[in-house]
Amino acid sequence: MIHHDGEELGNASRDQWTRVVGRGQMTWTPTMAVIRRARGCCLWTTDGRRLIDFTSGVLVNNIGYAHKGFESRVAELMKGIPRNAYNMITPLQVEASSMLVASMARTNPRVEKLLWAASGSEAIQKAMWCALHRYPDRPYMLATRGGFHGKKGLAADVTGESSPNPFVRMISFPLDDHTLTESAVLNELEQYWTETGGRISLLITEPYLGAKGSFHPPKWYHLCLERWCRERDVAFIFDEVQSCFGRTGNMYAYETYGVRPDLVVLGKGMASGVPTAAVAGRADLIDALDYGEGSDTFSAHPEACAAVIATLEIFEEEDIVRTARKMGVRLGKGLARLQERFSFIRAVRGEGMVYGIEMENPETANRCVLEAYRAKARRGVHFLGPLAGKVLRVSPPLILDRETLIDALYLLDKAWGRVPGSA
């Protein structure tokens, strides 16, 4: 287990965690921070270290931690409401569902209905079920290579570079080499259409490849996929589990890329820390599932619905997206300056308030996470473990202000100056 000098309380918690919890519970991180409290854009460890959070949990706390308006509104909405409403309907659930559909339909009229889920991968599974049930004689599915949609069931089948599912075909996604062309993508799609006898029900993609290392495609790419899906009556599914609610500089990532997917999968940031997810889109696809085929114990959990209502209200009242868009420009420029300063930074990729910093190798990436945590005696910057071996994701809360960003960049400049090869 990881230990840090001078962290007696944190080290004790890490040791106890290791004794009672399997290591598969968490992804690897070089710091294993033990957090006692959080507020705004900052975390405090049990031993008193203040960390500027560059993770938002994992793109979850878009409005920051312990937001007073959010906490009080959720408590107000939940008064007298049962904690579970399985096979019941509360007015709270009706309101949250209506607000969410209305929010999305402003810019995507294909959004007519939704299904709730308890996690992102479950919502992905339900989206795929909808398409497969809508087109029962079309069992084949397309997914973009390198995506991450989940670790379970069909979500796992469309994740990664290849699939164990004989009905899944992978298509290319633009990376940094800029060699992929629109005609090449169309040729791939047509090849699979012919190979499967036209029996393709869905195409699922992420707006950008997060787990792969933060690869953000040119605008033509998703427009090309959408156009092909329309021509072939294939359900176009946008996996916005990590990119919804302002992360890419717009409320929804499909707005950033100028498309109108048939189904959009939401998660993470939509409830500001309360676990929930949803798939929203065309009524004929959503209603392809009959009673019970999309049900589970915690979908549309009342507290999750309260959290979605509170989050939507705060986004509107505080103009979160506009603020995030402006801060995202400053964030991108600050990361570019770090790249100029440190030769071990090979690339900076991103948009809005989500970036990836690609290091020269995994060893350097892990060292940079550690040094950021220990930047000063009682201050640091919090990262997750590297993506794809050597890419640090930068995804601070969308409420990040100019002063906090300047402080974070200062700390990173000091911390990474201690990393070998920083000269």
- Are 118 and 22 members of one domain? no
> Can you give the pLDDT at residue 120?
96
276 and 346, same domain (yes or no): no
Identify the domain containing residue 371 by its residue range. Answer: 8-66+320-416
| Closest alpha carbon to 352 in 231, 242, 220, 260 | 242
Q: Domain end: 261, 296, 318, which one?
A: 318
Q: Would you mind telling me the total number of residues written for the chain in this entry?
A: 423
Are 219 and 312 in the same domain? yes
CATH number where 237 lies: 3.40.640.10
Q: Is the domain of 132 the same as that of 46?
A: no
Of 142, 149, 144, which Cα lies nearest the Cα of 121?
A: 149
Between CA 161 and CA 146 the distance in angstroms is: 5
Listed in sequence order, the DSSP H helices in 141-247 are 153-157, 182-195, 219-232
pLDDT given at position 1: 77
Domain membership flag for residue 159 = yes
Question: Which of 283, 318, 353 is a domain's end point?
Answer: 318
Q: Which helix (H) or strand (E) holds 204?
A: strand 200-205
Task: Check whether residue 325 and residue 313 sit in a common domain.
Answer: no
State whether 106 and 120 are in the same domain. yes
Number of domains within the chain: 2
Residues 271 and 399 in one domain: no
> For the domain that residue 346 is a member of, what is the CATH number?
3.90.1150.10
Residues 208 and 290 in one domain: yes
Instruction: Judge if 51 and 81 occupy the same domain.
Output: no
How do the pLDDT tens digits run along the chain, 423 residues long? 799 999 999 999 999 999 999 999 999 899 999 999 999 999 999 999 999 999 999 999 999 999 999 999 999 999 999 999 898 999 999 999 999 999 999 999 999 999 999 999 999 999 999 999 999 999 999 999 999 999 999 999 999 999 999 999 999 999 987 889 999 999 999 999 999 999 999 999 999 999 999 999 999 999 999 999 999 999 999 999 999 999 999 999 999 999 999 999 999 999 999 999 999 999 999 999 999 999 999 999 999 999 999 999 999 999 999 999 999 999 999 999 999 999 999 999 999 999 999 999 999 999 999 999 999 999 999 999 999 999 999 999 999 999 999 999 999 999 999 998 876
- Both tokens of 51, joined, read 């960390």
Same-domain check for residues 57 and 139: no
What confidence score (pLDDT) does residue 390 get? Answer: 97
Q: For position 176, what pLDDT does the model report?
A: 80
Domain termination site, one of 318, 350, 374 = 318
pLDDT of residue 423: 64
